[in-house]
Structure 1
């Protein structure tokens, strides 16, 4: 799990979206204004650290928000 100090601004934005429900990378990119590939990279990192789960191809959900 990541610590709050490990989070980039993009991670914060993605976690806020994930608190509202499941997301896809294209949706997150459109909502945050970040580049799609960068969003995919950040989501992959959040999955690798166990904060987010990839529940289906391209669909992500929050497991644990490290800001709490």
Structure 2
């Protein structure tokens, strides 16, 4: 779990992957919350992509519907 914390903190702080973040003194809850925020951010990106795809599909469907 500690390795996942380190990777997440490096990613959130835009640090190189090989950087060893010092987690001493950082409450586990704070790191866990950071990890949850990162996951929610990824979910939001996925949902945004899905929204764009649905807009594209609905546009095509409208084109088909208006051709008839």
Q: TM-score, normalised by structure 1?
A: 0.32
Q: TM-score, normalised by structure 2?
A: 0.32
Greater strand share, structure number: 1
Which of these two proteins has the greater Rg computed from alpha carbons? 2
Higher relative contact order (CA 8 A, sep 6+): 1
Greater helix share, structure number: 2
